[in-house]
Structure 1
């Protein structure tokens, strides 16, 4: 899939689309607002979320470039409502913005791009079902444990005592991913993991360090 990501980015570069740079916590799109372009994330990490009716935010997924941010909605509308808000979580993100109709014309004209889009949808569905299992079937502790294992698998960087999740993941972020209404509940769950020696925090940004990924893996096993 990585090779296909590179093909998409190189294809759009050849078409003359410029790279747009965004800094941490800038938004690429807002949930429910009309969007005229398909956003292709070239590098960096963004977070997709939705705002519920009562005003609470629910996190959906982190997305790491290179990757489309969203290919949802139809192929013929010049504008479509954004299915979620997208905020930059890395220090910087680089993206390309392609008019929607033009993007889908490229896809339908190029067999390799068409195969890429089909694979993107299939992989996105598989990832969504995987996350749904550990976020909804294990209770609060299992949801947090599964999320930490998933984040470590995707964004863990080797360190002296294990691996450190390179993203600045706050307790509020964890609560919003796991559907937990209170950050105090997240605090208690994380404290339990710390007391068992499964995790710790490191640095002034309190990055989460995973010492025992096998312990967390139980929450994502089929």
Structure 2
């Protein structure tokens, strides 16, 4: 059986008995701008990446819901490096492989399969960021909100007879941070309009997507 890049990485770390750490919900693994000597690989759980803007607001970049390296940015030879993101745990707990970053890069440089993983990692992250920026710039706030809701389907969606349940609690504050909207009240107003239009419902603080085609049309326009 041919392993995927991330499956190879996880097996590689397990074979070398890389330590695993656990973080509780809403605790931070790393902070934007602070020095860090480790590379972290999500093993289990959901985390959120964000950065702090110059005006002090938090801008959310992505949820990560499956095993993946948290960040491979910066150079590969320095023992310490500034962290590019805040990384916050969004589930009751999350577990991470923790490996000295210089040791990790030594493994990468000596292992073609890991080199392939790193190449694909950068390509994937660049594509994701370009796509998100395009949707925010080209579609305005409503289009950005619809694009965000649509992205949740792949991450947390569960098909039901009456729609697609986003089986994860996403707060208005987090939506504002993902979509570049200035306040939670603005998000609430926009969500209420989507409810009136029959696009979404809420059940137990989770979104139920009733009209996927509306979201797609809003993204395309």
Bin for the TM-score computed over the shorter chain: over 0.9
Could you say what secondary structure the match of 2:49 adopts?
Answer: strand
Count matched residues.
220
CA offsets, 1:126-175, max 9 Å, x none?
11111111122111110101100011222212234211212221111111
Partner of 1:86: 87
Question: Residues 97 and 51 from structure 1, CA distance in 2 versus in 1: closer, same or farther, beyond 3 angstroms?
Answer: same
Partner of 1:136: 137
Q: Does the 8 Å CA contact 1:199/1:209 hold for their aligned counterparts?
A: yes
State yes or no: 1:40 paired with 2:41.
yes
Question: What is the Cα deviation at residue 2 of structure 1?
Answer: 7.8
Q: Does the 8 Å CA contact 1:89/1:167 hold for their aligned counterparts?
A: no
Q: Does the 8 Å CA contact 2:5/2:116 hold for their aligned counterparts?
A: no
Could you say what secondary structure the match of 2:165 adopts?
Answer: strand
Q: Structure 1: how far apart are the matches of 2:95 and 2:160?
A: 27
TM-score, normalised to structure 2's length? 0.95
Range 110-119 or range 131-140, more displaced: 131-140
Q: Structure 2: how far apart are the matches of 1:208 and 1:2?
A: 34
Question: Residues 136 and 7 from structure 1, CA distance in 2 versus in 1: closer, same or farther, beyond 3 angstroms?
Answer: same
Partner of 1:209: 208
Taking only aligned residues, the RMSD between alpha carbons, in angstroms, comes to 1.6
Counting only pairs closer than 5 Å after superposition, residues 47-126 of structure 1 correspond to structure 2 as 47-126=48-127
Counting only pairs closer than 5 Å after superposition, residues 167-186 of structure 1 correspond to structure 2 as 167-186=168-187
Q: Does the 8 Å CA contact 1:135/1:147 hold for their aligned counterparts?
A: no
Q: Does the 8 Å CA contact 2:5/2:117 hold for their aligned counterparts?
A: yes
Stretches of structure 1 lacking an aligned partner (at least 5 in a row): none
Which stretches of structure 1, 4 residues or longer, exceed 2 Å deviation after superposition? Answer: 218-222
Stretches of structure 2 lacking an aligned partner (at least 5 in a row): none
Partner of 1:148: 149
